[in-house]
Amino acid sequence: MTDIDQIKAEALSAIGAATTLEALDAERVRLLGKQGQVTALLKSLGGMSPEQRQSEGPRINGLREAVSDAIASRKAALEGAALEARLASERIDLSLPAPERPRGSVHPVSQVMDELAEIFADMGFAVATGPEIEDDWHNFTALNIPETHPARAMHDTFYFPGQMDRDGRRMLLRTHTSPVQIRTMTSQQPPIRVIAPGRVYRSDSDATHTPMFHQIEGLVIDRGIHLGHLKWTLETFLKAFFERDDVVLRLRPSYFPFTEPSAEVDVGYSLKDGKRVIGGSEGWMEVLGSGVVHPRVIRACGLDPDEYSGFAFGTGVDRLAMLKYGMDDLRAFFDGDLRWLRHYGFQALDVPTLSGGVGA
């Protein structure tokens, strides 16, 4: 029999002398392949007597393990050396401008949603959500909207043909986020202080209207709530959002079925280089609707209007974004134009904070 110790010494020497991965793999095949030298020794065990197998078997298996370990160790060393050489040859000059890479951006609507959530969270408001497919009761009836109101007409509201609610009325795409207020009042007891941001749908399309847009509404229900609380909340909100202390509000009497009294809220603006800039009072621009929650709405939600009162307000998130960041066509918000998104979009890590500026 060939001397096993001599084979081991020659094999380990050849493995250590391999300078490339290709040369090392050739040694592996020569020693451990199907026709390899060590493999042949392993096959010879079957023709030995039991006494020979008992004495030679451990030596041959020890040879196989030693060769396998030496190949694995040499392979790791060669791969490490190759990596070091590659790292040394592929240096990057960090003083040069970084290569331009495609990158995404945060849509202005998403940014403004985050800004509003940050502002109202500081005032103690929670965020409430609800379904976009609503029934007639939550979207209209509970909000004191009469049967003859134009909002119920098909030219204003998207109805689902053949899909009925429990009262036999057609289901619809919500026309405002006010149903979230109803769901909140029917599911939890006062005091209630929530905002309801989300998508809403109306059959309208032009430069300032789209069939799908975004709203945010606020609701406060508690004992002793009056119009003064509403005015303070809106002033605090708008000053924080536009990041100006000279924001002036004007409340005009109006009518909404779900509030009484109701008020349209205008914000003052100044003209600068022919453009409207929020702040001052050279002119007035409507930004939201508001009012004291109607007693019928409170009663419809199972609360006593003699004990509880509240206020509500609502505005378009898209319109707030247009006013703050200078867009002039609402339709561009949903065109998916990458040039528009690169211009008006925000960096992913530009998280709005009150200390650093919500529009930072």
Helices (H) and strands (E) in the chain, counts: 11, 11
Q: Give the CA angle between residues 179, 183, 186 to the nearest 5°.
A: 135
d(CA 37, CA 43): 10
Q: What is the pLDDT of residue 271?
A: 83
Q: Hey, what are 103's tokens?
A: 């990158």
What pLDDT, in 10s, does the model give residues 303-356? 999 999 999 999 988 888 888 888 777 788 888 888 888 888 888 777 777 766
Query: pLDDT at residue 155 above 70?
Result: no
Name the residue among 312, 290, 315, 293 with its Cα closest to residue 304.
293
Mean pLDDT of 244-256: 90
Query: What distance in Å separates the CA atoms of residue 3 and residue 185, rounded to the nearest whole number?
Result: 91
Cis-peptide into 191, omega within 30 deg:
yes
Domain spans of the chain?
Answer: 4-85, 112-343
Confidence at residue 357, expressed as pLDDT on a 0 to 100 scale:
67
Q: Which amino acid is at 239?
A: K
HSE at residue 225, side-chain half, CA atoms within 13 A, is 26
Helix, strand, or coil (residue 334): helix
In this predicted model, what pLDDT tens digit does every residue of 204-240 receive, in sequence order? 766 666 788 899 999 999 999 999 999 999 999 999 9
- Strands of the sheet with 170-173, listed across from one edge: 133-134, 170-173, 159-164
261-281 pLDDT tens trace: 999 999 988 888 777 788 877
Strand partners, 267: 249, 285
Greater pLDDT, 280 or 295: 295
CB neighbours of residue 109 within 10 Å: 18
Above 50 in pLDDT, residue 199?
yes
Distance CA 152, CA 313 (A): 21
The number of residues in the chain equals 360
Q: Whole-angstrom Cα distance, residue 43 to residue 199?
A: 74
Q: 34: helix, coil or strand?
A: coil
The arithmetic mean of pLDDT across residues 6-16, rounded, is 86
CATH number of 112-343: 3.30.930.10
For 138-150, the pLDDT digits (tens) are 999 899 888 877 7
b (16+ CB within 10 A) / e for 316-340: bbbbbbbbbeebeebeebeeeeeee
Q: What is the pLDDT of residue 1?
A: 44
Is the omega angle on the peptide bond into residue 261 within 30 degrees of 0, that is, cis?
Answer: yes
pLDDT at 340: 84
Per-residue pLDDT for 119 more than 70?
yes
- Written as six digits, the tokens of 224 are 């002793």
Give residues with Cβ within 8 angstroms of 145, minimum separation 6: 151, 152, 257, 258
- Give the contacts of 231 (CB within 8 A, at least 6 positions apart): 249, 251
pTM summary value? 0.66
Percent of the chain with pLDDT over 70: 95
The CA-atom distances, in angstroms, between 245 and each of 17, 144, 237 are 78, 37, 11
Other Cβ atoms closer than 10 A to 55 = 11
